[in-house]
Structure 1
Amino acid sequence: MSTALLIPGSFEGEWVYEEVAERLGSDGHQVFPVTLSGLESDPGARRPGPVNLDDHIADVVSFVTEQGLDDLVVCAHSYGGMVLRGVCAALPERCRGAIYVDAFLPEPGESCWMLLNDLLREGFGALSAADGRALLPPPGADPRSAPHPVASLLQASRAGDPAPWIQHAYIYASAWRGTPFAETYERLSADPAWETYSIFTDHEIMRSNPEILADLLHKIMVNWD
């Protein structure tokens, strides 16, 4: 079985993977969800000052090295794809697989903000906090959600092509009408280096369909063993 590291998307912490992690654990995998800096549920645990993409990549790199994790399959949702790209570049010797769950897949020089579509940019703009340093969780969000640091969305990725031994999969949530990921999914579906999967579900698949996501992650990781 695999060692899986789970990176959440914007506004969310490791809590968003609770049910997915439980199911993967019952399947025999070692599972390590992480919370990125500035996204802790407890405001008192958040460090002061701006937090950017480099900081979030460093969070995961530090966690992996401190825990002594190796032979990892790293899974990331939404904004977390920006972080995953950087982690694969920083720790290629510790990664054997990368799974993007309805996530951004940047090229060098691309930021998350650049990869949003116009609808999402407008929506994110409406969530801007008074000080402009964070985006507030959207209406109806889980009460554990946290404001997302704007700097992390604006900083461009510097990660180049991943190491050739890292296997890649992309999971596309096709029921999200506002998705910015349709073009990414179509492009990767034509690339033999990628495994691609389309699920008719909304973007927050970890919460709306955790059993479907866990079963698919299990299938992918078992095939990669």
Structure 2
Amino acid sequence: MNMTTTSSTSSKVDLSTIRHKPIIIALMLGAMVALLNETLLGNALTVLMGEFDVTASTIQWLSTAYMLVVGVLVPITALLQQWLTTRQMFLTAMVTFLVGTLIAGVAPTFSVLLIGRIVQAIATGLISPLLMNTILIICPPEKRGATMGLIALVMMSAPAIGPTLSGIIVDSLGWRWLFYLVIPIAIISILIGMKYLQNVSEITRPKVDYLSILLS
């Protein structure tokens, strides 16, 4: 489905002034913590069932809602990248992720914890496509293969280590530390992005096909 129609404005990007490494580091840190949270609660679900006195079918919404929201946001991100600068997109995503993590970490009830997870998922749905698109733009063709391979390693390893890491954290520190421990990484990513991230995409501001977004 085409979510956009004709564009009205266009902007050119001078890639010669872009510092690639800080941008890649900021994006990869953000993507790592966002993707890690897809599976980080895996071994904590039984603990959370007892903590909030909910059933197994209810507690699974912490994972199911996360994946559903990510699935909804990924195609919409392609449209947002034509309306917002790379810097705006990244900082919005990471601040949103940080807010969601804080909400989940201090959640007094299951409903609040679920809201925190949904807010986290919004950020994940934004940051993952942004990472891939930005790398394709700023990396020269001869370096794209190695860079994409490194990114793929991060994107695959982060969810893979989630269950093991969550088991260690829950046994040692408690389930709330599943959220507390990723906060410093998210803050570091935000600070690097604030200092070095520049816009690398063209802002065309196309008209929005709201029906296509709804159907998607």
TM-score by length of 1: 0.27
Q: What TM-score do the two structures reach when normalised by structure 2?
A: 0.27
| Larger RCO (CA under 8 A, 6+ residues apart) | 2
Higher helix fraction (1 or 2): 2
Higher radius of gyration, 1 or 2 = 2
Structure whose residues are more often strand by fraction:
1
